[in-house]
Amino acid sequence: MKKNYDIVVIGAGLASLMFLSRYVLKNKSQSILLIEKNNNKNINQTFCIWQGPGLINIQKTYNLKPRHVWNKIEIAYGNENICKDITPYSYECFDGPETLKNLLKQCKNKIDFKQGLDVKKIKNHKDLIEINTSKSVIHTKYLIDSRNMITNKQYESPPSLKQVFIGNEILSKTEKFNPEVIKLMEFNKNKKAVEFVYTLPFSKNQGLVETTLFSKNPSFIKIKKLQNESLFKYKKFKSMKQEKGVIPMILSRQYASNNNLPIGLSAGMARPSTGYSMMRVAQWVNSIEKKQIKKNNLKQFQFEPNRLLNWFDSIFLTVCYFWPNKVPMLFMKLFGNVDVRSIIRFMSDNPSLKDIFFIILGMPKKLMIHGLFKKYVK
């Protein structure tokens, strides 16, 4: 006889595994199946996150060990460069495959895990969901779906953008990196997209150099060319691994029904202005931690972003969409004028009203008012 599950979770990615690793601790009686389409999920990813007072401690909460921790950040544009000590905050980076492996290990013996099952179709029956995969049909009472279901249509209207990047972890023959300072954004002039290089220095010789675009129509061919230009200054180096990705920078999202809960990117768990999702996922998991999934309560598990932050992000994205060439100046002003701790709390979805007030004061007002105007007057 086929087994019916209480809960099926689609996708063994960051959102599902952060959720499950906590959920299974308190809900031992429910039968849970996790399905993943890839047989070997060893995709290069580096998850970075701000840590410090008031922010969820990822190391402690999820038993994860960071690969590197920085207390100084730098941003630069043209000849100008701003370097800040961010103590008591830090910027921490976790190796992607190791993080996912570790989170999955924490769910061991508490859930069933099947790899190589590609979900093709989902049918809703009365009180039961039928999941058709490439290999079998599975039935469940409740479905948690982390597939990225964002459609091209959702990207069509402004201010929706995509964050696209290619990064190479390189080993340089000479000492080219300062492992004390993470280079958050080194902007390049670009009229059509926001373009910057993000550098995570792991040692004097080793670092991840990543070219990033916030763009309406990104092309990997173009970004590969830009990445080669970024790597040119390292002259003699060996590329150890490459990571690339496309992350949505959009405000629209999917909603839960009585028995189907979207999570992850399509549920709005990536912050529209940054594309970062690890902190949002952690905050969401914290907010639902005491609840158990049962009949007719799945909507209570819906991720709800902070409305005020979404509104700020929509203005920021409007500026990026219409005036990408002005965005480097916006960041230089912001980091030059505002206490970096306020910016970190703001970027981590955890600002105080005082932080928001200082951020408004520190932004280039004319540009933001143009953004505001353009957002409402189409």
Ligand X SMILES: Cc1cc2nc3c(=O)[nH]c(=O)nc-3n(C[C@H](O)[C@H](O)[C@H](O)COP(=O)(O)OP(=O)(O)OC[C@H]3O[C@@H](n4cnc5c(N)ncnc54)[C@H](O)[C@@H]3O)c2cc1C
**Binding residues for ligand X, per CB under 6 A?**
10-16, 35-38, 41, 45-49, 118-119, 146-147, 243, 245, 247, 264-265, 270, 275-278
The smaller minimum CB distance to ligand X, of residues 19 and 358, is found at: 19
The smaller minimum CB distance to ligand X, of residues 80 and 118, is found at: 118
The smaller minimum CB distance to ligand X, of residues 264 and 351, is found at: 264
CA distances from 131 to 35, 37, 50, 335, 376 (A): 11, 13, 37, 48, 41
Cα 38 from chain centroid? 20
What does the alpha-carbon distance between residue 175 and residue 177 come to, in Å, rounded to a whole number?
6
The smaller minimum CB distance to ligand X, of residues 49 and 213, is found at: 49
The smaller minimum CB distance to ligand X, of residues 260 and 337, is found at: 260
What does the alpha-carbon distance between residue 353 and residue 375 come to, in Å, rounded to a whole number?
23
Counting Cα atoms < 13 Å in the Cβ hemisphere of 72 gives 9
Residue 304 near residue 263 (C-beta atoms within 8 A): no
Beta strands 181-188; 237-249: pairing state: unpaired
* Nearby residues of 83 by Cβ (< 8 Å), 6 or more positions away: 72, 73, 74, 181
CA distances from 242 to 139, 144, 272 (A): 38, 30, 24
Task: Report the residue number whose CB is nearest to ligand X.
Answer: 13
The smaller minimum CB distance to ligand X, of residues 112 and 243, is found at: 243
Q: How far is the CB of 28 from ligand X (least distance, A)?
A: 23
The smaller minimum CB distance to ligand X, of residues 36 and 355, is found at: 36
Element (H, E) at 331: helix 327-337
Cis peptide before 272 (omega within 30 of 0): no
The smaller minimum CB distance to ligand X, of residues 140 and 146, is found at: 146
Q: How far is the CB of 10 from ligand X (least distance, A)?
A: 5
What does the alpha-carbon distance between residue 366 and residue 372 come to, in Å, rounded to a whole number?
10
Pair of tokens at residue 339? 């206490």
Q: How far is the CB of 38 from ligand X (least distance, A)?
A: 5
> CA nearest 332: which of 367, 280, 372?
367
What does the alpha-carbon distance between residue 20 and residue 111 come to, in Å, rounded to a whole number?
9
